[in-house]
Copies of this chain bind each other. A is one copy, B any other.
Amino acid sequence: MKKSFREIQGSIVAPAGFTASGVFCDIKKLGTGKGSNKGQKRDLTLIVSAAPATVAGMFTTNQVCAAPVKICVERVKKGTARAVVVNSGNANACTGKQGLADAREMVSFTEQALNLPSGSALVGSTGRIGVTMPMDNVRAGIIEAATLLGSATENADHAAEAIMTSDTRPKQIAIEFKLGGKTVRIGGMCKGAGMIQPGMSPTGARPATLPHGGLHATMLCFITTDATVDAKVLQTALNEAVAHSFNRITVDGDMSTNDTVLVLANGLAGNKKFTVQSPEFEVFAAALNHVCLELAKKIVRDGEGVHRVVTVKVNGAKNIQDADAAARAVANSPLVKTSWHGGDPNWGRIIDAIGYSPATVVEEKIDIGYSAAGGKKILWSLKRGQPTKATFKELCAAVAPKEFELHINLNLGKAKAVMYAADLTEEYVDFNKGDVGDPTTLGG
């Protein structure tokens, strides 16, 4: 399917009718005054659609859920939106009634600044937990951002920078493809580097049965498209896309209070509406999957202190829950993750994690092997629970690349699962142990 998409410039402003901007308004209240924002990280983003857009969203299933998430869950249900305001530096989480009032003011102030109808703006936040929003700064930021809206690549770049926290680089993508005879574009940007193991649902509610190992980033993702897509169809496509991308990544196994994915579809490409049964759905869904997966992988690659990215592929599980549980146990085991950092093909730690996962496994049936990223040739280190003749040197070579795939076959059934995982490094620890002298590190 990939071949049918053409990567294009412009990220979230590539689709027709979308403008964006990103400004610095000192949300961390570092005390820098007017005109001193040179070199400061931008911290407030606006994304605006020229025409009313259908909207779909996925939100953290963390029971401790930030105020902006609560507002979005409420508003996405209506199915339409025109704008998104996003800030970094403050998560507006654990901020009680004031937090909720502040999030409501962020959307209403944005609507006023942009002269949009009431109820048409959405909001996202990421940063410190437990500190109320500096609303004077936020209001000033929104006013400035509104004056800077544009559809140049630079505008998208500023927007993508302003949502970053511990990210070392902005994460963006845009693709173009044909849908119902029309040229359609999807653009997206995301942020996230730590507190990453998202488990999102359309309403933020937990599914009846939690996947073992948990639903577990602040990650934020904003996707724009000029395709015409009915809100329910858009939500169906997004559920599937997130299930196979953002909900399959882990940096540290911690799930944030703020995880949010929003998609706005403004219909300016002029294609006809389609249903879930139409051939157009498959094309659109595949394109959205591609955008989400590429953005999700960028998060893992830019994870805090990450040196190696490992795709953990579990096959042959009794059922999907077992496949997921085994993959997550391996992907989140500190011993497995440190061995990846060391370039150590330590299958003993891998089989240990599989064994203690909630998945049903039989030691004598487990295969473990390695391949190059996207490679088809697997070097097996363990077959049916027993070491193969692969040499230690060969195994070390297989785990030496910056990215590789780990293949686990439980040989008990047909279910499978994939996790996009990261190693655990001294840099991760050093970064996250915080700077105690600086109370701005309080929070997540």
- B352 adjacent to A65 (CB under 8 Å): no
Residue A117 lies at the interface, judged by CB distance under 8 Å to chain B: no
- Whether the pair B199, A356 counts as a contact (CB closer than 8 A) is yes
Residue interface mask A217-253, B partner, CB < 8 A = 1: 0000000000000000000000000000000000011
Interface residues of A in 336-366 (CB under 8 A from B): 338-339, 341-349, 351-358, 360-364, 366
Give how many A residues have a beta carbon under 8 Å from the other chain's beta carbons.
Answer: 78
CA distance A432 to B429 in the complex (A): 14
Would A361 and B432 be within 8 Å (CB), given that A94-B351, A348-B94 are in contact? no
Residues in B with CB closer than 8 Å to A430 are 426
Name A399's closest neighbour in chain B (CB-CB).
B436
Among A61, A63, A338, A356, chain B packs the most CB atoms within 10 A around the CB of A356
Contacts A348-B443, A424-B334, A443-B346; A356 near B432 (Cβ below 8 A): no
Q: Please report the C-alpha to C-alpha distance between residue A349 and residue B256 in the assembled complex, in whole angstroms.
A: 9
- Is there a chain B Cβ closer than 8 Å to A81's Cβ? no
Does A335 lie within 8 Å of B94, measured CB to CB? no
**A404 smallest CB distance to B (angstroms):** 15
Known: A387-B130, A429-B424. A255 touches B352 (CB 8 A): yes
A313 contacts B by Cβ under 8 Å? no
Contact with B along A190-227 (1 / 0, CB 8 A): 00001100010000000000100111100000000000
Q: How far is the CB of A64 from chain B (nearest CB, A)?
A: 3
Residues of B within 8 A of A63 (CB): 354-356, 360-363
Contact indicator per residue, chain A 98-123, by CB within 8 Å of chain B (1) or not (0): 00000000000000000000000000
Chain B residues, CB < 8 A from A130: 347-348, 382, 387
A135 within 8 A of B: no
Query: Given the complex of chains A and B, what is the CA–CA distance between A354 and B62 in angstroms?
Result: 9
Q: How many copies does the complex hold?
A: 2
Contact A352 B254 (CB under 8 A): yes
Q: Please, how many angstroms separate the alpha-carbon atoms of A110 and B91 in the complex? A: 62
Judging by beta carbons under 8 Å apart, are B429 and A64 in contact? no
Q: A338-B428, A426-B426 are in contact. Are A64 and B444 (CB under 8 A)?
A: no
A215 to B355, CA, bound (A): 11
- Shortest CB-to-CB span from A122 to chain B, Å, is 22
- Whether, in the assembled complex, A386 has its beta carbon less than 8 Å from a beta carbon of chain B, the answer is yes
The answer to whether B386 touches A335, judged by C-beta atoms less than 8 angstroms apart, is no
Residue in B closest to A206 when the chains form the complex, CB atoms: B358
Task: With a 10 A CB-CB cut-off, give which of A210, A347, A352, A442 has the most chain B CB atoms.
Answer: A352
Evaluate contact between B254 and A333: CB separation under 8 angstroms: yes
Do A94 and B344 contact each other (CB < 8 Å), given the known contacts A254-B335, A338-B429, A356-B62? no
Residues on the B chain within 8 Å of A352, using CB = 62, 64, 93, 129, 195, 254-257, 444
- CB-CB nearest in chain B for A443: B348
Q: Are A433 and B339 in contact (CB under 8 A)?
A: yes
Nearest 10 CB-CB pairings of A with B: A129-B348, A64-B355, A342-B433, A348-B443, A338-B432, A344-B434, A255-B356, A62-B355, A426-B426, A342-B434
17 A-B pairs within 8 Å (CB atoms) are namely: A63-B356, A64-B385, A94-B351, A94-B386, A130-B382, A195-B349, A215-B356, A216-B356, A254-B335, A257-B351, A339-B433, A341-B433, A346-B434, A348-B443, A352-B444, A424-B429, A426-B430
Q: What 18 new A-B contacts, CB under 8 Å, besides A254-B335, A425-B433?
A: A63-B362, A94-B382, A94-B386, A129-B348, A129-B352, A130-B387, A199-B356, A214-B329, A214-B358, A254-B334, A254-B352, A339-B434, A343-B436, A346-B444, A348-B442, A348-B443, A425-B429, A426-B430
